[in-house]
Every structure is written in C-alpha cells, then in structure tokens.
Amino acid sequence: MSPLKRNDPSFTYSSGSEAEGSSPSRKRARNDVDESFRGVQNIKVFIVTSKLGNDEFVALEKLAQSRALSTGAQRKGLTVLKLCNSPEAADMIVTNIRMRKRFERTIDWKLAKGKAVVTPEWLIDSVNLGTPQACEAYAAIQDLHETTEENCPEPCEKCENAIDSDNEPHDGPLSPTTTEVDWVSHELEAAPPKCDISKLSYLSNYCCQRPSPLKCPNQELVEQLAVIMRFRDLEGEAMQMLAYEKTIATIKAFPKKITEDTLEEFSKLPYVGQKTMTKTREFLSLGHILETKTILASERYESLSLFTQVFGIGASVARQLYDVHGLRTIEQLHLFYDVDAIVDKDEDVADPDEPPEFRIPHALRLMDELNLKIPRSEVESIRDLVMSELEKIEPGYVGILVGGYRRGKQESNDVDIVIGHSDPSTAKAKITGLSKKLTRRLYKKGVVTNVMHLSSFRAPNAMRTAHWDSLEKALTVFILPPNLKNPKAPRVHRRVDLIFAAPQSFWTAVVGWSGSKMFQRDLRRWAKDKKMLKFDSTGITHRWDSKQIVASSEEDVFRILGLEYVSPEWRNADL
C-alpha cells in the first residue's frame, strides 16, 4: 500500500542507503543535487570504518553526502559524490588502512582491484578544492596503486553546460520537487506490500534482517523459554531477560524443526549459547523444560503474573505487593486498593467534559474485560468508528491499524491506530492538539470511558535516551456503542491507543508502532551501529546534527536504514 505520493517541500525525502538530511526550504541547497538531472555525473563513495575514530568517520560522512563538485575543461560540468552502503556498489573506497593484510580483512581483494581505493585525503581535498582529484597521489594501498589509477572516475565530458553560464550551480531546484501528496482513505486501505524473504537471513545478528513468522516450526520450545524469560522479567533480572528475548527471536526466525539432526546447525545461530543448548536438549528429550515446569508450579510466579496484568502495576510494584504486603490473589488486591469505594467516588465527581484518569482501582474493576482478546472484526469496527468521528471534525484524516493486527494476529491485546492528515501543507497544524479534541469528543459520545495517558505534541528531542517517542497520543479505555442488531450482546471495554503523526513522522510511526518489540529494538540498534542514525516512531535523524530524514512510505523507512524491506507479517520476533 502507498498512502501518499511524494512531492512536497515540507515532505523532503532521502532515498535508500544514500540518506540525506531534509530541509524545509523550497529551494534546493547548493549541494543537494537531483540525481535525475541530465548531465550530472555521480561518484559513489564507500567509507571503511576501520582505523577511523567516530569523529573522523562522522566528518568524512558529512563531507561525502550529496556533495556537488565542478568538472570539465571550464569547470562547467557537475559531479555529485554519493554515499553508498556497500563496497560492491561503490566507485571509490575511502580507507585509512595502509597495509594489505589488514585491508583484506575488511574488503575482498578481488573486489578492491576493480575499484579506486583512496585515502581520506582524496575526499577532503576534492571537497575543499571543489573538483574531484586525480586518484594517483591518493592510493591507500601500495599494491593497489595501479588499479586505483585505472579505476579512478574520469571527468564527465558530457556534463559541459550542466551549470548555467555564470559558472555557478543552480540555487533553485534542478528538477520539480513539489507534487501532491495523495493518501489512500482508511476505507480503501490495502494490505501492506509483501517482501521477498529470500533476501532475508535467519543467520543475521539483527532481527530486522530476519524473516520472523507469527508461528514458527519450534513454537512449543519458544513458549517454554518464554516462561523463563517472563520470570526473569518479574524478578527484575533485566539482562537475563534480554538474553532470553534474543534467543527466542533467533528461534522464531529459524525455518527448520529443531531435532537431533538439526541441533548442530541450531547451535551455531546468534545468541544460542550453552544454556540454550542444554534446555533445548532437555526439551527434545522430555517434551518440556524442567525449569519451566518448576516456574509454572510456583505460587510466586502465578501471583506476580496476575498482578502485572493490571494496568499500572509493573514488576517492581508487583514484587512489593507480594514481598512486603503479603498479597497473593486479585481479591486481596481489590481490598488493598479499596476498588469499589474509589471507583464509585470517581464516578460521582466525574467531569462531563473530561474523561477521568485510569488508575489501578479502575484497572482492577475492568481487569477481566481488558484481558480478553480482540478479534480482527472488532479491531476494524473500532477503527471505523474513530475515523468516522474524525471525518466529522474535518475531512482528510487517515488512519492505519498497527500493532499485532498489522503483523497478522487473529486476536489482539489492544487496538493501535496511527492517524495523519492528507493535506501536507496544513497537516502538522491539524494534528497538533487533536489527541485532546478527539478524546473529549469520544468521551461525550460514551465510547471512551477513561484515559490512561494523554500527551500533546512535543518537538522531537535529539538528546533523548528513552524510546518513548514524542508523538502526540491518547491511550484510552474504549467501549463500542450497543449493537443495534443484537442489543443484548455484551459491551466489552478495550484498550485503544491513538497515535497522531505529522507527515514527516507518519511512516516511522507506522513502522515503530507495528512492532514487534525485539524487531523495533534491533531497528534502533542497527541504525546506531551501522548507519550513525537514530530511529524511533518520531523519525530517523542523523546522530551528528539531529537532522531528520523523512520517509515517504513504509518501505522507504527500510531503504533509508539500508535494510531489505520486511513486511509486517515477518516482524514477529517475539512470542
């Protein structure tokens, strides 16, 4: 599905691995050159990170990003330096390595002989002098001196007159940069585009490069390990929990049934250590894992699991209730929090215009309902009602169902909807403040009963360290109106999260809120480790200057991060 076509100055976009910063200006910056402009020569540059400090790498990367240089006899041609993600795609390989043996550990020697392999000084001098330099004096490896000279890109003779006769690059756009943004309405929303899983690898260290189905061939083993992982979480053992999460994510992507015949291959997968192998052999032998059986029989595990099913009670509070206050059952929790008295009091003093805050006593009263799974048909009915109310506020709003629904789950724990507006010129203004306006409207209509969290728009914080994004959102308790065809049908309270995103954040919000948890964790890790970028639902930004890179589609998010596209049904890296 492609809800929007590109072309708006406020919707600047950087394609693929050659990610560039965006600018709100209608004029294209001097060095931001359109690749499609006839007469422009591109030189693709790959920078080897080995033997470069972080500051050096960042400085070189900034130098190389869409840098326009003049060429030709009268310096009237135009050459554009473009960063690329792989040495295979590059014309130039820039490296600070000088020794052949060290270089061969990084780049295939046969490949290197077909490229110009130069020192960082070539890039620095070419940019500072405004024209590509001959490679001969910049060969990085003595044994590659001759091939570097041979493979050095020739000046573009066809690029004469590519620049105006005043010898200055175009200050304005070299080609049209504004078109209409066309969003598909929520009624016509198609399924997300499919990916080619043959391009993904279950051997990768990153979940965002693996195909992880909803149910895998080793689902029973995953469920056994998930109990141990959950127990580590309940006990506050964060590192041990993460280790199990990584192992489970690896198993979810492993396409073969684990048996004695495949055990050796399984042992070589990422995050499969000796403990995992011991428990796996135990599972193959007994049909279960002994530690899992012990945990499930534990009163402590049963109580802590029950307590943390209540909104507002995390693992730390649950342990306090169990260890300090001696609570064991939900009935004891009702008495401890004085549920009936507090909820009844809150209902008596409720503001007719503002939905009441959802606190632990409210969560306890509605616990049974909120823990019921939501079928896909009801998820869609909730979405339709929300979009219908938005249409009454003003036409043009669009919404995409995300979360487990988007990943193919037949039943969801809650409903997540990312909401945007189809008019890019006014979308940010129309989205800002919408969370409160819509929530109040739904409250007065009787379908929102409480608010768990309500936030207004906050400017993205480039220094953020937590992964709670700065998007405007309303996390609500929702109940559909009575069914006119079946008035006696029970009405069930549901958790509904409404996420409001301006155009520059819309597709990262869709990817981020689609999950799964481990898939998103590894998207952030990949962006940081491999691309010097920061990713979350708010957007993708450069780490060195916090400039945002705007994605034009769900697939484009992956292109900017230099990843093969993974469609939502293959992002189920958790249980």
Q: What is the CATH number of the domain that holds 66?
A: 3.40.50.10190
**DSSP designation for 269:** S
Contact at 8 Å (CB) between 77 and 159? Answer: yes
Whether residues 392 and 443 share a domain: the answer is: yes
pLDDT of residue 183: 38
Q: Is pLDDT above 90 for 509?
A: yes
Residue 259 has pLDDT above 60, yes or no: yes
Q: Is the per-residue pLDDT at 28 higher than 90?
A: no
Q: Give the global pTM.
A: 0.69
Q: Let me know whether 89 and 122 are in one domain.
A: yes
Give residue 130's pLDDT.
Answer: 76
**Last-in-domain residue among 296, 327, 357:** 296
- The pLDDT value given to residue 383: 96
Contacts of 301 (CB under 8 A, 6+ apart): 231, 234, 295
Q: Is residue 289 domain-shared with residue 415, that is, in the same domain? A: no
| CATH code (residue 268) | 1.10.150.110
Task: Dig out the tokens for 161 from the structure.
Answer: 């007159």
> Tokens 């209540």, residue?
310
CATH number of 496's domain: 3.30.460.10
Structural domains counted in the chain: 4
Q: Which of the residue ranges 12-16, 33-37, 333-337, 424-428 has the most confident prediction, judged by mean pLDDT?
A: 333-337
Q: Which domain holds residue 535?
A: 371-570
- Decide if 180 is inside a domain: no
pLDDT digits (tens, 9 = 90+) for 101-112: 889 888 999 999
Between CA 350 and CA 544 the distance in angstroms is 48
Tally of CA atoms within 13 A in the half-sphere of 528 that contains its CB? 10
- On whether both 342 and 262 belong to a single domain, the answer is no
User: Is the bond preceding residue 516 a cis peptide, omega within 30 degrees?
Assistant: yes
Q: pLDDT at position 532, please? A: 87
Q: Do 355 and 380 sit in the same domain of this protein?
A: no
Residue 155: the pLDDT is 60
pLDDT band at 49 (very low <50, low <70, confident <90, very high): confident
Q: Give me the chain's average pLDDT, please.
A: 83
pLDDT at position 54, please? 72
Residue 195 binned pLDDT confidence (cut-offs 50, 70, 90): very high
> Is 236 inside any structural domain?
yes
Helix extents (H) in 371-433: 376-393, 403-406, 427-431
Phi-psi region of 561 (alpha: psi -120 to 50; beta: other; left: phi over 0): alpha
Q: For the ranges 181-190, 246-255, 346-355, 492-501, which has the lowest average pLDDT?
A: 181-190
Judge whether 17 lies within some domain.
no
- Whether 201 is covered by a domain: the verdict is no
The neighbour count for residue 295, using CB atoms within 10 Å, is 20
Query: Does residue 322 lie in a domain region?
Result: yes
d(CA 225, CA 398): 40
Mean pLDDT of 447-454: 93
How much is the pLDDT for 15? 32
What integer pLDDT is reported at residue 174 of this predicted model?
26
Q: What is the pLDDT of residues 375-430, one digit of tens each?
A: 999 999 999 999 999 999 999 999 999 999 999 999 999 999 999 998 888 888 89
Statement to judge: residues 54 and 102 lie in one domain: yes
Least confident of 158-167, 321-330, 386-395, 396-405: 158-167
pLDDT digit string, tens, across residues 437-447: 999 999 999 99
Give dist(CA 43, CA 81) in Å, integer. Answer: 5
Q: Do 462 and 555 belong together in one domain?
A: yes
Confidence tier at 261 by pLDDT (50, 70, 90): very high
Please give the average per-residue pLDDT across 193-210, as a whole number.
Answer: 95
User: Are 473 and 392 members of one domain?
Assistant: yes
Nearest to 575 by CA among 495, 516, 501, 513: 516
Yes or no: say if 77 and 140 are a contact pair by the CB < 8 Å rule: no
- Give yes or no: 279 in active site: yes
**How many Cβ atoms sit within 10 Å of the Cβ of residue 168?**
10
Buried b (16+ CB within 10 A) or exposed e, 263-293: eeebeebbbbeeebeebbebbeeeeebeebe
Q: Assign 10 a pLDDT band (cuts: 50, 70, 90).
A: very low
CB 162 within 8 Å of CB 40: yes
Domain-terminating residue out of 350, 369, 388: 369
Cβ–Cβ < 8 Å for 110, 103: no
Answer yes or no: is 263 within a domain.
yes
The helix-helix angle for 219-234 and 274-286 (nearest 10°) equals 130
Catalytic residue among 82, 279, 531, 534: 279
For residue 81, is pLDDT > 60?
Answer: yes
Q: Flag whether pLDDT at 13 surpasses 90.
A: no
Q: What is the DSSP letter of 489?
A: S
430 close to 506: Cβ distance less than 8 angstroms: no
- Average of per-residue pLDDT across 68-72: 56
d(CA 360, CA 340): 12
Q: Are 533 and 541 in contact (CB under 8 A)?
A: yes
Q: Look at 113-122, 268-277, 448-457, 473-482 and tell me which has the smallest mean pLDDT.
A: 448-457
pLDDT at 355 > cutoff 60: yes
Residue in 173, 156, 179, 130 with CA at minimum distance from that of residue 37: 173
What is the per-residue pLDDT for 230?
98
pLDDT of residue 367: 96
Handedness of CA 380, 385, 390, 391 (dihedral sign): positive
pLDDT of the residue at 129: 78
151 and 82 within one domain = yes
Q: Is residue 305 part of a domain?
A: no
* Same domain, residue pair 325 and 423: no
Structure confidence at residue 72 as a pLDDT band (50, 70, 90): very low
pLDDT of residue 153: 84
Q: Encode burial over 371-382: b for 16+ CB neighbours within 10 A, e otherwise.
A: eeebeeebbebb
pLDDT(97) > 60: yes
Kindly state the average pLDDT of the residues 67-74.
53
Q: Which residues contact 341 (CB under 8 A, 6 or more apart)?
A: none
Beta bridge partners of 510: none
Residues of the chain with pLDDT > 70, as a percent, come to 82
Res 466 pLDDT > 70: no
pLDDT band per the 50, 70, 90 thresholds, residue 552: confident
Reported as a pLDDT band with limits 50, 70 and 90, residue 67 is low
> Which of these three, 319, 338, 369, is where a domain ends?
369
Point out which residues pair with 415 in neighbouring strands.
496
pLDDT in tens, 210-228: 999 999 999 999 999 999 9
Name the E strands within 397-518. Answer: 397-401, 411-412, 415-421, 448-455, 472-478, 494-500
Tokens describing residue 373: 């799974």
Rounded mean pLDDT, 181-199:
63
| 153 and 246 belong to one structural domain | no
Given a contact cutoff of 8 angstroms between Cβ atoms, the answer to whether 188 and 399 are in contact is no
Task: Verify that 286 and 323 share a domain, yes or no.
Answer: no
How would you list the strands of the sheet with 67-71, edge to edge?
A: 67-71, 77-83, 40-47, 92-94, 116-118
pLDDT at 433 over 70: yes
In a domain, 1, yes or no: no
